[in-house]
Structure 1
Amino acid sequence: MLTLTYEYKLIPTRQQVLDIENILTVCRKVWNFALRERKDWVNSRKCRVDACSLDQEYIIQPAISFPNYHIQAKNLTEAKRVIPELGSVNAQVLQQVLRTLDRAWDDIWKRGFGFPRFKKHFRMRSFVFPQLKGEIVKANHVKLPQLGWVNFHVSRAIPDGFKVKQARVVRKASGYFVMLSLQLDVNVPEVPFHGHPIGIDIGLESFLATSDSELVAAPAFFNSLHSKLELLQRKLKHKKLGSNNRRKLNSKIARLHQQITDTRKDFHWKLSHHLCDRAGAIFVEDIDFRTWAKGMFGKHTLDASFGQFFNILSYVCWKRGVFFAKVSKDYTSQICPECGALTGKKGLSIREHNCPECGYKTHRDVAAAQVIRNRGVSAVLGSHATCFKSAEPLFSVVASQVE
């Protein structure tokens, strides 16, 4: 099953905007109530019966089970009879809110995530219609439950044969968007190793370096607008809570953050296609960027958003039939890509690789990218590629034998 997600900008009417905001408000209230219910149950089981606090303590009867998704969904159905506001929103939308909370609760222990947070007014930004029936898209209109036919900007056509399975409405600083999940019942084989391989080494001086000696400068998306953002945030602290001026200034700050995010993502997409134009196989380092974000260069690392770039690059490679793989990151800057000799650690001030064994000289990031490429080819081709060097004719002979 092939699944794609296409995002379009909605052009809703005034009444549809009010309906969207009402749905987001009810979803936020359901989320907060369900989370409060779960936290109260946990707090009531925190201490022993003979060691309760003398000041205050949560008391919930022992016979009451933990309020999981199924219990809360059943209680939601019963609550609709006495709370008319809940009946104003599609039932499946509210059920998806409870499902999302249930996944977030499980991820605390399964994936080491933080505790789910209560949502303020602008923190509940999206909701999902999990099932769509009938004709969904017609010309520049999309039919959504409860909202009816909504105009949207057709930035790209939906591929032939794909069916729209669900829709997510998202509120951003620049307006409302719809994310359509498209499915096609086909089996997509994995991309085999083929063509010209390149290795990619990421860094701070340059955004990345390739094994073909290409250096891409770091755009510094956040730093370029940091002074403007600081000025707006300095003004914000003097605005009165709940005032219209504070709301307008918050909107400006949100638009600026979205501009940074959109510019960064656009750069990642274009760079990924640029790399795929020049390679049949791409190898990158297997890095945990969470540790990078905690170091002295954390701000620059988060600004570059290497994790997002690798995710986009892997998707573009899959879409365009380019082989993509990750290799070990260890000692990539301490090995000569030409002869394989250990050259020792290099300080950040040393920007050139100079091998004392074979005399090979190149930029240190390019040398690391060539080591990554050699590791990737060796891992894919096995012992046939252990002697792989930068020479293209040798690779062509090995690759032709594998094919």
Structure 2
Amino acid sequence: MNYTYRIYPNAAQQIELLEWLETCRGVYNYALRELKDWIASRKCSVDRCSLEKEYIIPADEPFPSYHRQQNNLPKAKKQLPHLGQVHSQVLQTTIRRLHDTWEAFQKRGHGFPRFKKFGQFKSFVFPQFKQNPLNGFTIKLPKIGDVPIKLHRPIPDGFKVKQVRVLSRVRGTQWYVVVTIELDISVPDAPVHGRAIGIDLGLERFLTASDGSFQERPKFFKSMQSKLKLLQRRGARKQKGSKNWEKAQREVARMHHRIANRRRDFHLKTAHKLCDQAQTIFAEDLNVKGLTRGMLGKDCLDAAFGQFLSLAEWVCWKRGVYFAKINPNGTSQTCPNCLATVSKGLEVREHHCLECGYRTHRDHAAAEMVLYRGLENVVAQGLWGKETACQVGLSGVYDLDKWRGAGMLALRG
């Protein structure tokens, strides 16, 4: 479990932290260069070489794995003394970070690791601590010293600090630490229990629940867009690389940071509000990337549905609420009362079924359909309530029909 805190290093510590980030960036890029050169040397055909250039590395040269590059760090420190100023385990985790990216690339088949430009490397990790580094109002970082910290919430009893990640935000003017804590216990997944609701996400209303409640969508980016445009225009008029240009870029970065914080705060409060209303929550498994490619891409990015679903799942796990995603196809085109198909365009905001006469808001009908599919899945899997072998059949038809007749009427009432 991770806790994020704000830290306030002094001027000398900030300079040292920025130097550490640049050193880690150099180590990352050098290790990536070795990796790419070894791969490029294996691309040459057996009977011919390229006319322009070719990477010549001996055939018996082993692959630059994590352990091989990690063992070369002590040799590099003798040639480059400035590497010794950085904690040794911080450099090792930098190499580990590269190879984690490389292994993820091999699994998904795309997204080859890239070189980090100046200012793009924004964090490093202290992987372990012998003692608790938190001491009231300060945190003790190896080779950095005691740094003031805003400990807005204490570490729970019994937990130990496993690692600390130092983050640089707003172009190196704001610093945070992500403290990873652990406790040797197993937390079981929350079962399906209590009151169940389905939620539908949209742009007219950010969230509509199956019980009829809804949450309006705050326009975080659009409300600040005019001011952000003014700050960006001021930065564009400055000479690139000058001190005034750097000050203008910090103002722009601070504005983006403020927008992101407001959005995240809204998502967390909304997720906690949902957990207060129900103990079982079903949501649509949206194709977030597909939504951002349409004409409403800016609005979808401003709403950040993907971030909300991730935070909602984490909040539900923390509070013991069951959370599941269901197939979103056709939820707004199906009547939740009689399951008839009701085709309607995006401009139609009211659901009116000609088969049964059920009329409600479009998003409310979709949320009810999300709840229907979610309960249908858990009943089919035998997860509903405290079931026994005799209580829930293999098909779950009896329980599903019982819910169709009584559950939907209770939700509407």
* TM-score (normalizing by structure 1): 0.92
Distance across 2 between alignment mates of 1:386 and 1:68:
57
1:298 corresponds in structure 2 to 297
1:381 corresponds in structure 2 to 379
Distance across 2 between alignment mates of 1:183 and 1:285:
31
Deviates more, 1:262-271 or 1:372-381: 372-381
1:63 corresponds in structure 2 to 60
Deviates more, 1:232-241 or 1:60-69: 232-241
2:383 corresponds in structure 1 to none
1:131 corresponds in structure 2 to 128
Q: Which amino acid aligns with 2:107?
A: K
1:235 corresponds in structure 2 to 234
What is the correspondence of 1:2-401 to structure 2 with a 5 Å cutoff? 4-173=1-170, 175-343=174-342, 345-382=343-380, 383=396, 384-389=399-404, 391=406
Change beyond 3 A, Cα 1:298–1:381: same
Distance across 1 between alignment mates of 2:304 and 2:313:
15
Distance across 1 between alignment mates of 2:285 and 2:378:
16
Distance across 2 between alignment mates of 1:48 and 1:240:
48
Deviation at 1:388, TM superposition (A): 2.3
Q: Kindly indicate whether the alpha-carbon contact (under 8 Å) linking 2:334 and 2:369 is maintained by their aligned counterparts in 1.
A: yes
Change beyond 3 A, Cα 1:194–1:52: same
Q: Kindly indicate whether the alpha-carbon contact (under 8 Å) linking 2:132 and 2:160 is maintained by their aligned counterparts in 1.
A: no
Distance across 2 between alignment mates of 1:6 and 1:331:
39
Change beyond 3 A, Cα 1:191–1:390: farther
Q: Which amino acid aligns with 1:199?
A: G
Distance across 2 between alignment mates of 1:73 and 1:108:
20
Distance across 1 between alignment mates of 2:325 and 2:96:
33
Superposed CA deviations along residues 238-271 of structure 1, whole A, max 9, x for unmatched, are 4333211221111111111111111110000011
1:277 aligned counterpart, secondary structure: helix
1:166 aligned counterpart, secondary structure: strand
Distance across 1 between alignment mates of 2:182 and 2:362:
44
Deviates more, 1:209-218 or 1:229-238: 229-238
Deviation at 1:63, TM superposition (A): 2.1
Distance across 2 between alignment mates of 1:28 and 1:171:
13
Q: Which amino acid aligns with 1:359?
A: G
Deviation at 1:393, TM superposition (A): 9.1
Q: Which amino acid aligns with 2:165?
A: R
Deviation at 1:113, TM superposition (A): 4.4
Q: Which amino acid aligns with 1:78?
A: K
Q: Which amino acid aligns with 2:164?
A: A
Deviation at 1:47, TM superposition (A): 2.9
Deviation at 1:390, TM superposition (A): 8.4
Q: Kindly indicate whether the alpha-carbon contact (under 8 Å) linking 1:165 and 1:181 is maintained by their aligned counterparts in 2.
A: yes
Distance across 2 between alignment mates of 1:315 and 1:156:
18
Superposed CA deviations along residues 292-329 of structure 1, whole A, max 9, x for unmatched, are 22222222211111111001101111111211111111
Change beyond 3 A, Cα 1:132–1:349: same
Deviation at 1:389, TM superposition (A): 4.1
Q: Kindly indicate whether the alpha-carbon contact (under 8 Å) linking 1:388 and 1:395 is maintained by their aligned counterparts in 2.
A: no
Q: Which amino acid aligns with 1:151?
A: P
1:60 aligned counterpart, secondary structure: coil
Q: Which amino acid aligns with 2:136?
A: A
Distance across 1 between alignment mates of 2:35 and 2:408:
63
Change beyond 3 A, Cα 1:92–1:130: same
Distance across 2 between alignment mates of 1:46 and 1:217:
55
Deviation at 1:86, TM superposition (A): 0.9
Distance across 2 between alignment mates of 1:358 and 1:83:
78
1:282 aligned counterpart, secondary structure: strand
Q: Which amino acid aligns with 2:26?
A: K
Distance across 1 between alignment mates of 2:297 and 2:192:
34
1:199 aligned counterpart, secondary structure: strand
Superposed CA deviations along residues 31-66 of structure 1, whole A, max 9, x for unmatched, are 111111212222222231543232333222222222
Distance across 2 between alignment mates of 1:104 and 1:361:
50
Q: Kindly indicate whether the alpha-carbon contact (under 8 Å) linking 1:11 and 1:152 is maintained by their aligned counterparts in 2.
A: yes
Deviation at 1:14, TM superposition (A): 2.4
Distance across 2 between alignment mates of 1:205 and 1:51:
61
Q: Kindly indicate whether the alpha-carbon contact (under 8 Å) linking 1:337 and 1:389 is maintained by their aligned counterparts in 2.
A: no
Q: Kindly indicate whether the alpha-carbon contact (under 8 Å) linking 2:44 and 2:54 is maintained by their aligned counterparts in 1.
A: no
1:330 aligned counterpart, secondary structure: coil
Q: Kindly indicate whether the alpha-carbon contact (under 8 Å) linking 1:338 and 1:390 is maintained by their aligned counterparts in 2.
A: no
Deviation at 1:77, TM superposition (A): 2.0
